[in-house]
Amino acid sequence: MNRFPLLCFLFIWFSASGQENRVLITGKVKNDSIPIENVHIINKNSQKGTITNRLGQFKISVTDKDTLMISDIQYSNKIIVISQDNLLNKYLEINLLELTNELDEVIVKQFDDMSEELGLPNAGKKPLNKLERNLNHYSQKSTPIVILEALLFKPGGIDDVYNIISGNRKRDRKLKALIDEDRMTASKQDYVIKIKDHFQEDFFIKSVKIDKEHINSYIFYCMPQGIGELYDKGRLIEVIDILLKSKDSYFESLTEPE
């Protein structure tokens, strides 16, 4: 008659023992030789998760036969069952394959649902492209510091020196700056159209005293004064004030020698 409480006790004890037997292992996720940042690693047995750092490294608690699911927006999902060798070495290296464009939409939906449901740190964040991944991977420290760390055999030192000597870091930084500049210009052009449509040509011609052919370039000239942000916030009086006061400096800029 007393077997039921005993069975309950044993069940709870074995369940607790299974949790306590988990060990912390380290690992690295990469694509060929390139580390992958912000990859989600989820232990489906313990319902615990983690993400990789800029070097593709992670730590997670596991036990024998635990199932790990590795997910990333730009790479194929991978499932790994923990073995005794993994527990013995306390290390796991994972190589992911890039997705084809046809599978992107399916993976995005599955990734978002899973990360948000488990409350992982990067849930809902926009995935990084390859250039952004490279820039995050590069050391942001000065060249002398990078060389010193390499001489001291610190992690990533040799790779960081190579990226500086080869010009990879400098090249990708310039490329990122050009891309950001193009995006900024495109954003400003969108505001030019919005502001022009809102106030109409008559306002610029009759009130601001700007010829029709100068309207677009004049609005673009005023963008550094924040009229785009003011327009978004509905602070139209301040937008009008800037447009009315900037005409003289605009025409002066047109006559300045190159």
Q: Among 10-19, 30-39, 97-106, 120-129, where is mean pLDDT lowest?
A: 10-19
* pLDDT greater than 70 at residue 256: no
* pLDDT of res. 1: 47
* pLDDT of res. 57: 94
| pLDDT greater at residue 89 or residue 109 | 89
Joined together, the tokens standing for residue 238 give: 């301040």
Which residue spans of the chain are classified as CATH 2.60.40.1120? Answer: 21-127
| pLDDT greater at residue 97 or residue 258 | 97
* pLDDT greater than 50 at residue 91: yes
The whole-number average pLDDT for the span 196-215 is: 88
Nearest-5° Cα angle at 143, 171 to 132: 40
CATH superfamily, with its number, for domain 21-127: Carboxypeptidase-like, regulatory domain (2.60.40.1120)
Side-chain-side CA neighbours of residue 25 (13 Å)? 23
The H-assigned helical ranges of 77-167 are: 84-89, 104-118, 130-137, 143-151, 157-165
Interval 167-204: pLDDT, tens: 776 776 776 676 666 677 777 788 888 898 888 888 88
Whose tokens are 């084809």? That residue is: 100
Interval 109-148: pLDDT, tens: 554 455 555 556 555 566 666 656 665 666 666 767 766 6
Q: Considering the chain, what is the average pLDDT of its residues?
A: 77
Q: How confident is the model at residue 103 (pLDDT cuts 50, 70, 90)?
A: very low
* pLDDT of res. 254: 76
The whole-number average pLDDT for the span 75-86 is: 90
* pLDDT greater than 90 at residue 95: yes
* pLDDT of res. 61: 93
Question: How far apart are the C-alpha atoms of 150 and 168, rounded to whole Å?
Answer: 17
Interval 23-58: pLDDT, tens: 999 999 999 889 999 999 999 988 888 999 999 999
Tell me the pTM.
Answer: 0.36
Side-chain-side CA neighbours of residue 90 (13 Å)? 6
Question: How far apart are the C-alpha atoms of 181 and 196, rounded to whole Å?
Answer: 22
Amino acid present at 87: L
